[in-house]
């Protein structure tokens, strides 16, 4: 558990047509144990926000604080789950899951115990010895989740992790992720372009502006858990956010648009 705080964070990139504002003066406080979802038009700086919190990119201005301390670079304490699962094809499922523990020199017996528990948690015990190339997209993301949980990070950063999956698989992974969050109470920052997914999962949803990467609106989601994508309340809130998002996309277009990609 850890709280994350962004103080006046700005980040610019040099693009083909001059300076592109990835983030502009972002102030954001994420209390420990929150499930924060970030939505916004494409190129609004969602991924930049995640990369800055992960430590992959340093902000040009402002500070990123975790439990009040300024972050250095990337750390296993803020674990990133990418859209591409980024698993290692030369290792099998079990070896992938305990890779971080191995790097940290954790005792072999403890590695084995952790691997068994995590394999069970993500329903992959039968596939422990399979290689990554033999798994489906949903199974790969489960391995990625297990690998992240093995490191017991205080913060989980997820960058559109389920975007490439089919609807049924995504539904199942939503349930699994929600269960993991409820059991471990980790702080999760989840970037998605799917507004309903954000409302389904988040305890708060923030909408980013398409112009220059700032936070446009915040929506606390006070619906009871365990939600479904089809819940009337989920759909209602999502359509409200989506209207706002659509207007914002139009405004961004008229303003000339800034595309961080």
Partner 1 sequence: MRTDSKSDISHAQLFLRRHERMRSRVMRLAFLAAAVCLWHFLASAGVWNELLFPPPREVLQSLISGFSDGTLPAAIFASMWRLCIGYGISLAIGVPLGLLIGRIRLLDDTVGSLAVGLQSLPSICWLPMALLWFGLTEAAMQFVIIMGSLMAVTLAVRDGVRATPTFYLRAAPILGAVGWRFYRYVLLPASFPSVVTGAKLGWTFAWRSLMAAELLYVTTGIGSTLMMGRELHDMALVVASMLIIITIGLITDRFIFKLGEEFVHKRWGVG
Is 89 one of the binding residues for partner 1 (CB under 8 A)? Answer: yes
Is 99 one of the binding residues for partner 1 (CB under 8 A)? Answer: yes
Is 31 one of the binding residues for partner 1 (CB under 8 A)? Answer: no
Binding-residue pattern over the window 129 to 148 for partner 1, x denoting contact by CB under 8 A:
--xxx-------------x-
**CB of 73 or CB of 224, closer to partner 1:** 73
Where in 149-168 is the site for partner 1 (CB under 8 A)? 151
Total interface residues for partner 1 by CB under 8 A: 26
**CB of 29 or CB of 58, closer to partner 1:** 58
Where in 41-80 is the site for partner 1 (CB under 8 A)? 54, 56, 73-76, 78-80
What is the SS3 assignment for the chain? CCCEEEEEEEEEEEECCEEEEEEEEEEEEECCCCEEEEECCCCCCHHHHHHHHHCCCCCCEEEEEECCEECCCCCCCEEEECCCCCCCCCCEHHHHHCHHHHHCCCCHHHHHHHHHHHHHHCCCHHHCCCEHHHCCHHHHHHHHHHHHHHCCCCEEEEECCCCCCCHHHHHHHHHHHHHHHHHHCCEEEEECCCHHHHHHHCCEEEEECCCCCCEEEEEECCCCCCCCCCCHHHHHHHHHHHHHHHHHHHHHHHCCCCCCC
Residues that bind partner 1 (CB under 8 A): 54, 56, 73-76, 78-80, 82, 84, 86, 88-91, 99-100, 102-104, 131-133, 147, 151
């Amino acid at each position: 558990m850890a709280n994350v705080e962004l103080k006046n964070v700005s980040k610019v990139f040099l693009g083909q047509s001059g300076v592109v504002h990835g983030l502009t003066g972002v102030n954001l406080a994420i209390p420990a144990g929150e499930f924060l979802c970030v939505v916004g038009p494409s190129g609004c700086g969602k991924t930049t926000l995640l990369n800055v919190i992960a430590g992959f990119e340093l902000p040009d201005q402002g500070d990123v604080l975790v439990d009040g301390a300024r972050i250095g670079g990337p750390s296993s304490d803020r674990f990133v789950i990418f859209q591409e699962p980024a698993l290692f094809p030369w290792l099998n499922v079990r070896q992938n899951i305990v890779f971080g523990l191995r790097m940290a020199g954790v005792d072999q017996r403890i590695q084995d115990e952790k691997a068994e528990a995590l394999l069970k948690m993500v329903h992959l015990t039968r596939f422990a010895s399979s290689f990554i190339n033999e798994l489906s997209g949903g199974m790969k993301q489960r391995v990625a989740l297990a690998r992240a949980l093995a490191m017991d990070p205080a913060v989980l950063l997820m960058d559109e992790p389920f975007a490439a999956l089919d609807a049924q698989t995504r539904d199942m992974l939503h349930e699994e992720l929600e269960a993991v969050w409820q059991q471990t109470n980790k702080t999760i920052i989840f970037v998605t372009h799917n507004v309903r997914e954000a409302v389904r999962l988040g305890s708060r949803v923030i909408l980013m502006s398409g112009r220059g990467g700032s936070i446009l609106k915040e929506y606390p989601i006070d619906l009871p858990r365990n939600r479904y994508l089809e819940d009337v309340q989920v759909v209602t809130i999502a359509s409200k956010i989506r209207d706002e998002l659509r207007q914002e996309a139009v405004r961004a277009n008229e303003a000339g648009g800034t595309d961080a990609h």
